[in-house]
Structure 1
Amino acid sequence: MTQTQGSLVRRITDYAHRADPYPIYAELRKTPVAHDEEGPYIVSTYWEIHGLLHDPRLSSDARNLDPRAASELPEEDDDPGLPPSFLRLDPPEHDRLRRLATAPFGPPHTPRRLHEMRGELTRIVGELIDGFEGRDRIDLVDHFSYPFPVTVICRLLGVPREDEPRFHAWADTLAASLDPDPDADAAERGRITRQARTELAAYLSELIEERRRAPGDDMLSALVGGEGPEGRMSRVELLSTAALLLVAGHETTVNLITNGMLTLLRNPDVLARLRKDPHLVVPLVEELLRFDPPVQMLPRRTPLSEIDIAGVTIPQGASVWLLLASGNRDPQRFPDPDRFDPQRRDNQHLGFGSGVHSCFGAPLARLEAQIALTELVRRLDEPRLLEDPPTYRRNAVLRGPRHLPLAFEGLRPSGSPNGFRNRSPNGSRNRSPNGSR
């Protein structure tokens, strides 16, 4: 099926649908592979997406795009200061860099790293929730969902926490560059993106040189000094990998935690079950990754040769968008897909992608979300939404609320499952739905 750019790409990226893109995805699934005239091929059904994620003929390297399709790319791929990360490369280059990046992150080289981080993650979460004391409302994004993973990735990489405001701005700019917004000023966005990439590259270069002179026990030191059978990373590879870890290490987790709390507050029966049974959080996070994933789509893939799929021939060099969030709601794969069910069986979702480019930070993101949601539910007394739907970020790829205002009646003490403290100053538990007295 062929549609016009305005009737398909613009609908997917239209901010008016950001709060609930799923009806559009359901409509798209009627035609598993749709083609915008002179635009991308959009794949929306589970098995077709899954197959392409495992198909070596589908490239992640923008250099393989036909020049006409490449016009939708941000102007970053020829940047000598901060080149694309290994996520934008194909095997064997991708595989070599991924192995080097993974070595200090977990098995088989450091099999206990995540396990040993659990106590530290729980402590950070506890301190952030303790900071709610004296309040009866918060913005979950500003007060919790953002500072938690940022603190974690700073400590993991060995980035000074006081530098966080600087890379916050860079991360926002680079994340925005992923958004295929047809209405954006491409030239202006390209200029802002190049500036952010240049500044981030200069900052990381200084950090890398510091680690060369005085290595620590952080991941950046391990990447700088790491060497395997395939050698070690070059300077530009170190820069692009460090930038990937710094940006991707918190951007998606912010949305995962925020989407998770929003979903729980919309499903109070599930919230009550999690409060009674904290072990429910493991399948709950998996269901959340299916039901409302932080990464909605993977744009800008391209076939290295013609690919026939679902009765459509996608030509070599064409731009392909994989709508992961749509595949996660495909009724041909998941029964009753629009229902949030944390005890769903056979939940092989696409929330972290699949195949060689599956998210290698997934174990950390899972652990962060499990700890964050468990403690928020345990410690917040009668939390409730103050806005529904909340205000969403502009980004259609990394989708999540920009703010999530919550009200609550008090805090359970840290480390104790019983009793409440920190009620509102007048001790009142009777508030209107908008939180006013």
Structure 2
Amino acid sequence: MTTTETPDTLRRILDYSSRADPYPLYAELRKTPVARQEDGSYVISTWREITDILHNPHLSSDTRNLSHPTAGAEERTTPAFINLDPPEHDRLRRMAMRHFGPPHTPGLVTGMEPALTGIVGGLIDDFAGKEQIDLVDDFAYPFPVTVICHLLGVPREDEPRFHLWVNDIIDLIDYNPETDPKEKLDNGIQAREDLRHYIGGLVEQRHGRPGDDLLSRLANDDGPDGRMTDEEIVATANLLLIAGHETTVNLITNGMLTLLRHPQVLQRLRDQPDLVVPLTEELLRYEPPVHIVPWRAAYSDITVADTVIPKGSRIMLMLASGSRDPNRFHDPDRFDPDRRDNRHLGFGSGIHLCFGGPLARREAQIALTELVRRVDRPRLVADPPPYRRSPVLRGPIHLHIEQDGD
């Protein structure tokens, strides 16, 4: 397969004007599954090729293996395990997983269900008497933030502080030195340092004080792999704090937007609450919270779809495009909660499969079920709604909904 350059298509996808509907551009991109860009990087856009490369041991998630590191991608201290390769990735992920899910804490998510339902119910109670709500500010953001703060042991009242840092860090993910002001880069790097310092202070307070929160467990527990260093705990906590709410905000908001655009499915969910399980999987395929893995690196020359990608090349994986690939999914642009064999890329694949996927799924399932059950005749105020700037973590920044009053 001959590799051709498609810089204009990628540029249009990354441009904010395409944020509301990038899917036609993804279809255009899939005509060349592995496309070399002008800067020597490669964009991969089809399901088979993305899946193959996510399972390829010659692919690195460590930006230090890039021939030309992306501005803002360099970590000045210990990276989170999502940006490391085996065996270090496997060791750190295993140590974190001891306290976050099976096999060591298999009942974590299911044990939280009453609390999750209670948080959702309280937020929906606050809708009473309002003719219009912002689903993001009034619901989809405070819900997962409250949950992840509780899990980590981060004071909920500190949310206004780290909210600003998280926004600047996310802006750093897709920083483009050719089009973005240097202030964006500087703000992101400073925010990363500020968040590390803040979490580091919390970790210091936990030493010698065992507790049920994740920071306490990581700071005091010696498992088969030993104990994380403070720097490793901070890097892991930063990852979980950011990923633990940002992706879930998008999943819930994209989900409610999709249901309001498909009123028959919304009514089915109201009548058949068990539909929420396959429906959430279809949302992860159809309107995923993460659209792009912005960088991977090749350890050595690798061949993908008959295209040789040189060692050290930057590789961009278009996950949302792969989940709409007609060679893998029948009628991929149709939202179908009854879809079978739905092996989407909504949470990635391979060794970096989303660490918090089980929790995010359950949060979305409870949130959507209760919203549909309790909000009276919800209607979109604007379609499309305003979107976040980021093409990587794609979702509405606001979603205004009208409801009938009491």
* TM-score, length-scaled by structure 1: 0.90
Name the counterpart of 2:57: 56
Name the counterpart of 2:24: 23
Q: Percent identity?
A: 61
Give the SS at the match of 1:299. strand
The worse-fitting range, judged by mean Cα deviation, of 215-224 and 280-289 is: 215-224
Report which of the two structures shows the higher radius of gyration computed on alpha carbons.
1
Q: Which amino acid aligns with 2:43?
A: I
The answer on 1:108 being equivalent to 2:103 is yes
Q: Which amino acid aligns with 2:52?
A: G
Name the counterpart of 2:304: 309
Inter-partner Cα distance in structure 1 for 2:149 and 2:396:
23
Deviation, 1:220, is 1.1
* TM-score, length-scaled by structure 2: 0.97
Q: Is the 8 A contact 1:100 1:227 kept in 2?
A: no
The worse-fitting range, judged by mean Cα deviation, of 138-147 and 7-16 is: 7-16
Q: Which amino acid aligns with 2:87?
A: P
Q: Is the 8 A contact 1:13 1:181 kept in 2?
A: no
* Alignment partner of 1:224 out of 202, 213, 219: 219
In the TM superposition, what whole-angstrom CA distance separates every residue of 1:224-271 from its partner, at most 9, and x where no partner exists?
112222211111111100101111110000000000000000000000
Name the counterpart of 1:13: 14
Give the SS at the match of 2:101. coil
Q: Is the 8 A contact 1:73 1:300 kept in 2?
A: no
> After superposition, where does 1:281-296 map in structure 2 within 5 Å?
281-296=276-291
Cα–Cα, structure 1 residues 145 and 301, in superposed 2: closer, same or farther, change >3 Å?
A: same
Q: Which amino acid aligns with 2:304?
A: I
Cα–Cα, structure 1 residues 371 and 183, in superposed 2: closer, same or farther, change >3 Å?
A: farther
In the TM superposition, what whole-angstrom CA distance separates every residue of 1:96-131 from its partner, at most 9, and x where no partner exists?
000011110011111111111000000000000001
Deviation, 1:184, is 4.0
Q: Which runs of 4+ in 1 moved over 3 A?
A: 180-187
* Alignment partner of 2:395 out of 386, 395, 400: 400
> After superposition, where does 1:411-430 map in structure 2 within 5 Å?
423=406
In the TM superposition, what whole-angstrom CA distance separates every residue of 1:278-311 from its partner, at most 9, and x where no partner exists?
0000000000000010100111101111111112
Name the counterpart of 1:147: 142
Cα–Cα, structure 1 residues 397 and 75, in superposed 2: closer, same or farther, change >3 Å?
A: closer
Deviation, 1:186, is 5.9
The answer on 1:131 being equivalent to 2:126 is yes
Name the counterpart of 1:430: none
* Alignment partner of 2:72 out of 68, 71, 74: 74
Q: Is the 8 A contact 2:175 2:185 kept in 1?
A: no
Q: Which amino acid aligns with 1:152?
A: V
The worse-fitting range, judged by mean Cα deviation, of 165-174 and 18-27 is: 165-174
Q: Is the 8 A contact 2:209 2:220 kept in 1?
A: no
Inter-partner Cα distance in structure 2 for 1:220 and 1:162:
17
Give the SS at the match of 1:124. helix
Give the SS at the match of 1:10. helix
Q: Which amino acid aligns with 2:316?
A: W
Inter-partner Cα distance in structure 2 for 1:12 and 1:40:
16
Inter-partner Cα distance in structure 2 for 1:267 and 1:214:
50
Inter-partner Cα distance in structure 2 for 1:46 and 1:182:
30
Q: Is the 8 A contact 1:104 1:219 kept in 2?
A: yes
Q: Is the 8 A contact 1:294 1:400 kept in 2?
A: yes
Deviation, 1:185, is 3.2
Q: Is the 8 A contact 2:250 2:395 kept in 1?
A: yes
Inter-partner Cα distance in structure 2 for 1:409 and 1:213:
53
Give the SS at the match of 2:117. helix
In the TM superposition, what whole-angstrom CA distance separates every residue of 1:355-400 from its partner, at most 9, and x where no partner exists?
0000010000000000000000000111010010000000000000
Inter-partner Cα distance in structure 2 for 1:75 and 1:368:
30
Give the SS at the match of 1:73. coil
Name the counterpart of 1:391: 386
Q: Is the 8 A contact 1:66 1:318 kept in 2?
A: yes
Give the SS at the match of 2:86. coil
In the TM superposition, what whole-angstrom CA distance separates every residue of 1:10-47 from its partner, at most 9, and x where no partner exists?
22211000000000000111111111122420000000
Give the SS at the match of 1:30. coil
Instruction: Point out where structure 1 has 5 or more consecutive residues left out of the alignment.
Output: 411-422, 424-437
Cα–Cα, structure 1 residues 76 and 305, in superposed 2: closer, same or farther, change >3 Å?
A: closer
Name the counterpart of 1:382: 377
Name the counterpart of 1:3: 5
> After superposition, where does 1:3-402 map in structure 2 within 5 Å?
3=5, 5=7, 7-67=8-68, 70=69, 72-74=70-72, 76-77=74-75, 79-80=76-77, 83-181=78-176, 183-185=178-180, 187-402=182-397
Cα–Cα, structure 1 residues 167 and 247, in superposed 2: closer, same or farther, change >3 Å?
A: same
Computed over aligned residues only, the root mean square deviation of the Cα atoms, in angstroms, reads 1.3
Q: Is the 8 A contact 2:20 2:384 kept in 1?
A: yes
In the TM superposition, what whole-angstrom CA distance separates every residue of 1:158-193 from its partner, at most 9, and x where no partner exists?
111110111111111111111254654363222111
Q: Which amino acid aligns with 1:319?
A: R
In the TM superposition, what whole-angstrom CA distance separates every residue of 1:75-99 from its partner, at most 9, and x where no partner exists?
542x23xx32110000000000000
Cα–Cα, structure 1 residues 302 and 186, in superposed 2: closer, same or farther, change >3 Å?
A: farther
